[in-house]
Amino acid sequence: MESEPQYPDIQVEVEENKAVGVFSLLQIVFVMLGFMLGGIIFIGNITYTIQGWIGTSVVVPQFISAWVLQSLIIIVLTFLLLKANQGVMERSPDAFGTSFYLYILLTVVYVTMGLIGLVFIVMIIIQFIIMFLPNVKIFWFDEFQEDTKPRIKETRFTLHLVKKSPLVVAGILIITFMVSVALAAPWIAPYQGEDMVFKDSRLPPGSPSNDIRQNYFYILENREFNPDIMPSYYYDELSITQIHLETVEIPRLFVGVSDLNTGNDAVSVNVTFRIYQINKTVYESSTVAERLTYLYASVSVVSQNLLSYIQLPNEEGAYVWELQFIAPEKTSTWIANTRVVLAYYDNYPIHIWGTDFYGGDIYSRIIWGAQKDLIIALSVVIVAVTVGAILGAASGYFGGKFDELMMRITDIFFAFPGLVLAMAIVMAIGVRSLETISIALMVTWWPTYARLVRGQVLSEREKLYIEAARSSGASDTRILFNHILPNTIQPVVVQATMDIGSVLLVAAGLAFIGFGPPVGTAEWGMMIARGQDYILSAPWMTLYPGLAILVTALAFNLVGDGIRDIMDPKLRRR
């Protein structure tokens, strides 16, 4: 008896292949967009830095300078995702699992990038949905679950070891706290990083400010105000509260109507602005004649700009402002640049940790400085690890003249003290900035990782699993990135964690001796440099930034020591 053809099975296989093909295509598109975003930000920063060196002016969007670290992480993770995509097209379960982890890491990065990051997160969610469709899930999820069971068990044991070490726990808590403070700087710092209140020079911790600041609240702002009907008027309620009356300066209301344009019709326009001492409810229920009994102030012009300050009563209460445009006939076009602004004064916030010589708030500057110093430390280590690991791995794996050349280059770098070499690079660039410090430290830091990874690769490349990969026809690139580098990551992670603290210290040292950013920048080393002359009369100027450097660097060193002990198989099972 002849068997029936298995058309349903063939149809299912076609649908599964089609679903995986769609996922692979979306992944490639996502990778290309990620490369474009990371490349634009990274190249934009290089362009911005170079134009600073040569003295030209280039307008660079703000997000380019704000997301330098994110761009480096995105480029590295997207490259790994591109490598995983090759396995996805071959229906490799490991490739799907790798993609899953990379998407989670990229989501964490994109969360910090505002609206642009949200777009990429939506794309990741779409790819997650496709990954868990039955036609795609069948290729990887069961094996992924089996693989994660021992990893989950090992992770639990690792967390158990971390809990047993109070110093590691303390280091992790300090790092988490400092990163949270840096991210929350716009909301928790009472001053901007570069704000200076010159009347508050060298105030001790807890001192109130000696100055007041002027604030502007825009009630109405329209550069192309276009009333459709003549006459027309606009009104709203204005409340004066205790916030507006903190100082002896009385709040004022500014009204500005300028650039009047009635098109081809030469029509005279009467512009009138009034303030009534009533609330909005009473205003709306009153006639025009009744409102006039509550009139507090009025200004009016005909066919000319109205620019006037009106001093408000020095008491709390509700008021209504009214803006009228009166013309004898309707004009064909009407444009007016219109503004109604409340100007008031209040006291500067208390200086919790005192001020420096120029009146900069120490507390706020340390918070804003955490952003800059942590970005420098992380970006330097990420670039150094990436460049050093790739060059060191290629050197150790291929050997020969390339290995000899790379080792001699690293010998040249090691012949100079790192700080001295970084100073020379900063001087050669000729621009004092945080970006220059980052570049100098990136150049001086990568040889350490190149040597470290090369030594690990030399011992790994002769092992049996590498020979098995070669015999199965795997390319050198696949062997290097998929087999050797993952097995050399342990000492690199330990070294990188401890180097973050070291980079932090060296960057602060460069700023302290005058190779850092311009005066006024909120950076810990620069703050200590500005306070060194007053270390006896105003010790808080150097004490607090010094403690910030000490605690942060110590935290990374504690975590690095803990990771080394946890990852060491000889110490792990004791």
269-279 per-position pLDDT tens digit: 778 889 999 88
CA distance 429 to 398: 34
On the question of pLDDT at 243 being above 90, the answer is no
Half-sphere exposure of 191 (CA within 13 A, CB side): 26
On the question of pLDDT at 236 being above 50, the answer is yes
The CA distances from residue 29 to 34, 97, 103, 166, 388, in Å, are 9, 19, 14, 45, 29
Would you say 235 and 321 are in contact if contact means Cβ atoms under 8 Å apart?
Answer: yes
Rounded to two decimals, the pTM is: 0.74
Task: For 509-528, write each residue's pLDDT tens digit.
Answer: 998 988 888 877 889 999 99
Q: What is the DSSP letter of 484?
A: I
Task: For 433-457, write each residue's pLDDT tens digit.
Answer: 888 888 889 889 989 999 999 988 8
Q: What is the DSSP letter of 207?
A: B
3-class DSSP state for residue 431? Answer: coil
165-209+354-574 classified as CATH 3.30.230.10: no
Strand partners, 261: 335
In terms of Cβ atoms closer than 10 Å to its own Cβ (0-12, 13-18, 19+), residue 22 is middle
Confidence of residue 304 (pLDDT cuts 50, 70, 90): confident
Half-sphere exposure of 45 (CA within 13 A, CB side): 22
CA distance 50 to 378: 22
In terms of Cβ atoms closer than 10 Å to its own Cβ (0-12, 13-18, 19+), residue 358 is middle
> What pLDDT sits at residue 50?
66
> What pLDDT sits at residue 7?
45
Q: Where are the chain's structural domains?
A: 1-150, 165-209+354-574, 212-347
On the question of pLDDT at 551 being above 90, the answer is yes
Task: For 334-372, write each residue's pLDDT tens digit.
Answer: 677 788 898 888 888 899 999 998 899 999 999 999 999
Name which residue leads in pLDDT, 546 or 52: 546
On the question of pLDDT at 550 being above 70, the answer is yes
Among 97, 120, 116, 88, which Cα is nearest to 107's?
A: 120
> What pLDDT sits at residue 1?
44
CA distance 262 to 512: 60
Residue type, 405: L
Name which residue leads in pLDDT, 482 or 251: 251
> What pLDDT sits at residue 486?
76
Query: Residue 61: phi, psi to the nearest 5?
Result: -55, 150
> What pLDDT sits at residue 369?
93
212-347 classified as CATH 1.10.3470: no
Task: For 77-131, write each residue's pLDDT tens digit.
Answer: 888 888 888 888 888 887 888 888 888 888 888 887 778 888 999 999 999 898 8
Confidence of residue 258 (pLDDT cuts 50, 70, 90): confident
> What pLDDT sits at residue 97?
82
Among 341, 332, 307, 320, which Cα is nearest to 226's?
A: 332
Considering Cα of 120, then 114, then 493, then 436, what sign does the dihedral take? positive
**What's the whole-number average pLDDT of the chain?**
82
3-class DSSP state for residue 281? Answer: helix
Angle at the Cα of 227 from the Cα atoms of 222 and 229, rounded to 5 degrees: 170
